[in-house]
Amino acid sequence: MNSSPKLLIVGRVPPPYGGVSVHLYRLTEYLKMAGFPFQFCDLSGSSNSNFINCNNLFRLTWALIARRYSVVHCHASNPLLVILIGLVSALLNRKAIYTLHGEGNLLTCENGSFPLKTVLRFVLRRATRIITINSNCYTRACQLVSSSDKILQMPAYLPPTPSEFISQPISDRIEEFLLEHSVCFASQGTFGNKYQGLDLYRFDLMAEALLKLRETVSTAGLISFISQTLDPAARDEVFGLRQKMGLDHHWLILENFGSALPIYLRCKAFIRPTMSDGDSLSIRECLDLGIPVIASDAVPRPDGCIIFKTGDVHSLHTSILSLLTDYKYFNAQVKKTKTDNCYQPLLKCYIDCLAI
């Protein structure tokens, strides 16, 4: 990075490990490898000396006004942070790019309080580019913004960097679990994330499906990677459910874990039973690694996924059995699937915006 980059990227990098934070970690690594000048503003408060620590509003505001950036790329999900970044960019006549990693801010523009949705609409309508990660978000964004030319749709996926495969060795505990459960599945989620009153990641659904599967497949197991806990009570509920269903020894829950990639490679499939979704990084990286994916039909999914009816444990169980019955076929189909990534489209977006 040179001493006066014109591009500022605002978001979070791990820890915790989640879809957006891993996306941004990989994006910064790819830009550094390409020699593309940028600065990164870490909302989590980074210990990386190359990044700006912006873990409070004062630091974020100062970072936005103190340097002469031409383009600000916002990955924040909190509408108040989006508004702050947008208003400062408007005041200083800077170009703004917003990546909407889900429908949250678009729904706020429709259903939020009048002051909040009015200002948020102004900020997003002023954007130089809005990047959406699936067709649902794209359609909503087009309804919000008069010019669809400024709206892009691209997956949030970037391929893993080589270091992610060796960053964290598999522990003896996990190795033992994998050996005892030769038919092992992986999942990823957050404790306490609600959608329409239900657990967004449907840990209960996976537990029911696992219990039913173990009636005929005694070596079946599940490893769930938890990126963060938003509600301790929700965490206690999931652990209580695991114990109540007698799955303590067959459902491994790993919290605040690093890169899951080495373990994904040891699993039969990745399960994504979410009630809603953005563009799941975990789905795309598993498909890219040749790992079958079983996902709910809550939103459009990438080609190659095995789809089941959202919230339906029978449909999930049937999909798992179908996969296991003809595993070679599904595995071969996944390996034929081309997984798109967003690096080149993002790079073009930066170059175009900097040239305006």
pLDDT attached to residue 47: 63
pLDDT attached to residue 167: 57
CA distances from 330 to 43, 153, 216, 220, 336 (A): 40, 28, 20, 18, 10
pLDDT at 350 over 70: yes
Mean pLDDT of 194-205: 94
148 pLDDT tier (thresholds 50, 70, 90):
confident
pLDDT at 233 over 90: yes
Instruction: Pick the more confident residue, 135 or 84.
Output: 84
pLDDT attached to residue 2: 47
14 pLDDT tier (thresholds 50, 70, 90):
confident
State pLDDT tens for residues 111-131.
Answer: 999 999 999 999 999 999 999
pLDDT at 329 over 70: yes
Q: What is the dihedral of CA 172, 178, 181, 187, to 10 degrees?
A: 120
pLDDT-above-70 percentage for the chain: 97
pLDDT attached to residue 45: 76
| For the ranges 28-32, 309-313, 340-344, the one whose mean pLDDT is highest | 309-313
Mean pLDDT of 189-218: 96
Instruction: Pick the more confident residue, 52 or 130.
Output: 130
pLDDT attached to residue 1: 46
Q: Break the chain into its structural domains and give their ranges.
A: 7-158+341-355, 162-336
Mean pLDDT of 169-196: 94
356 pLDDT tier (thresholds 50, 70, 90):
confident
Tell me the pLDDT of the chain averaged across its residues.
92
State pLDDT tens for residues 264-309.
Answer: 999 999 999 999 988 888 999 999 999 999 999 998 899 999 999 9
pTM for this structure? 0.84
CATH fold match for the domains 7-158+341-355 and 162-336: yes
pLDDT attached to residue 278: 81
Token pair 């103190």: residue: 66
Distance CA 211, CA 219 (A): 11
Distance CA 276, CA 200 (A): 7
pLDDT attached to residue 129: 97
pLDDT at 332 over 80: yes
For the domain made up of 162-336, the CATH class stated in words is alpha beta
Distance CA 277, CA 134 (A): 9
Fold of 7-158+341-355: Rossmann fold (3.40.50)
| For the ranges 60-64, 315-319, 352-356, the one whose mean pLDDT is highest | 315-319
The contacts of residue 175 (CB under 8 Å, 6+ apart) are: none
Token pair 């964290």: residue: 168
State pLDDT tens for residues 65-88.
Answer: 988 899 999 999 999 999 999 999
Pair 26, 161: CB distance under 8 Å: yes
Distance CA 197, CA 171 (A): 36
H or E element that contains 9: strand 7-11
Can you list the alpha helix ranges (DSSP code H) found in the chain?
Answer: 19-34, 57-66, 79-91, 104-111, 114-125, 135-144, 172-180, 203-213, 232-244, 261-264, 281-288, 313-325, 327-336, 343-355
